[in-house]
Structure 1
């Protein structure tokens, strides 16, 4: 790179390389006794490792990998981000569902995905630290993600993922990952007490609890403007005898309304092996 001219104008700096940024964090870990926090950290690390292996991402180079005590974060080549959206999220959810079978308290995770420039300085202070990395943590801690975990069943919904608007626009809406855009819900990611407010997109692999009740309320007869069928009609009984002819009706206008459903209602929580990866993977 040529040197900047000495013109008295403030000098520019080269843009650091872009990285995909992954972060996961456990819900409610601060309420655990100290003796349980070490095993939880080891469990999360092991779950992520086994998920990377199951999705054939174990050879992906992980930069700036950091254990946060109740979670971890790392950077990667942005070319891998589509695979971290899908199938990694669904596979991690499946691992959590299997792990949480039994009487022990379930492990529940928040996960964020972001893309941005990060400085590379191995072995020196500031390695991998820049605004994009802080934003990934803010997405992880944002109120919509925490609320979604609280309003869902602890064992049926062990994972909520949130992706930045940049990831959604480039990777999801761009068609590079296996999940369609309709599986994501737009949210305003905010963190109490922090100067952070961004549009983001949330994905819940296995919805439950209030999510299903809200979906039912949105798509039920009352929401669609339709009149519920009589009990005997609902069960397929014969039509009742016709009533006496009514007076000629007045003019009526019938208006139908459409309903868009963002999330998928998943009733069967059994999971199978991860799908075969594309042959053109990086």
Structure 2
């Protein structure tokens, strides 16, 4: 073996394990009085936890969880990727709509889902930090995601989801996700000044406003209308038992916007593979 080949092997190292990342951030939270910042953080956390429970993901182990002041972030087993898209995003959409009928500041979320290897060093600085995590934030902050949420009706669409191409191929086109490929729209995810450009896919559980001009949104609107009964609010989905196959990894991140804020004062359960 040559010295060159030995040198190349010596410089290589194993990939870190694949993890999913889920994060929520409240945009424009600084517009709220300081006294409301802590309640906002608690509200977002409670909605996320409740959504996980209702979606059947309550026992999903949350890795390197941290409160970001105006949000929440944690890692999760990547085998849950299809269920993070659905039913979790759908349940979260319903919970946000219910929350926004109250007197508290309305919360609207942007969520991104990505994949990649993430190093884990529990209890040390940098735990969970890697390029996939940065890319997930770029997806969240890209013009396409912001534009879709802005184009949606404020009272009709509390959540938009952007899925990376890798996740779309593995979880959606692979047939593991309950949401069919026809409900996703291809977009170009770009962040000015960051040198970030990727193909991604948008999914909106409850499209409204300008989003209804999108073919996939029109189909979703018709589908939703056929499920309405007596005008009653949809019940919180019951926990489900799902069968999924372990795929590569996922990163899910959410960011929220607040509307009309000025007028308002575990061990992991293994998926059933039978």
What value does the CA root-mean-square deviation take over the aligned residues?
A: 2.1
Count of aligned pairs: 232
Q: Which residue of 1 aligns with 2:237?
A: 274
Partners of 2:97 and 2:76 in 1: CA distance: 26
| TM-score, normalising length: structure 1 | 0.76
1:98 aligns with 2:59: no
| TM-score, normalising length: structure 2 | 0.78
Query: What SS does the corresponding residue of 1:7 show, helix, strand or coil?
Result: helix
Range 65-74 or range 94-103, more displaced: 65-74
Q: Which residue of 2 aligns with 1:241?
A: none
Which of structures 1 and 2 has the bigger CA Rg?
1
**Alpha-carbon contact 1:16-1:117 (below 8 Å) kept:** yes
Partners of 2:170 and 2:7 in 1: CA distance: 38
Q: Which residue of 2 aligns with 1:28?
A: 28
Q: Which structure has greater strand proportion?
A: 2
Partners of 1:31 and 1:199 in 2: CA distance: 33
Deviation digits for residues 235-273 of structure 1 (CA, Å, limit 9, x no counterpart):
xxxxxxxxxxxxxxxxxxxxxxxxxx2222245583234
Q: Which residue of 1 aligns with 2:6?
A: 7
Query: What SS does the corresponding residue of 2:6 show, helix, strand or coil?
Result: coil
Partners of 1:64 and 1:193 in 2: CA distance: 30
The structure-2 alpha-carbon separation of the partners of 1:193 and 1:38, relative to structure 1 and needing over 3 Å to count, comes to farther
Runs of 5+ unmatched residues, structure 1: 216-260
Partners of 1:84 and 1:193 in 2: CA distance: 30
Partners of 1:8 and 1:163 in 2: CA distance: 38
Q: Which runs of 4+ in 1 moved over 4 A?
A: 266-269
Q: Which residue of 1 aligns with 2:147?
A: 147
Shift of 1:126: 2.0
Q: Which structure has greater helix proportion?
A: 2
Partners of 1:208 and 1:6 in 2: CA distance: 58
Partners of 1:53 and 1:115 in 2: CA distance: 23
Runs of 5+ unmatched residues, structure 2: 245-270
Range 145-154 or range 30-39, more displaced: 30-39
Deviation digits for residues 78-132 of structure 1 (CA, Å, limit 9, x no counterpart):
1111111100000000000111113443111111111110111111122111101
Partners of 2:143 and 2:193 in 1: CA distance: 11
Map 1:31-70 onto structure 2 (within 5 A).
31-70=31-70
Relative contact order, higher structure (CA 8 A, sep 6+): 2
The structure-2 alpha-carbon separation of the partners of 1:39 and 1:193, relative to structure 1 and needing over 3 Å to count, comes to farther
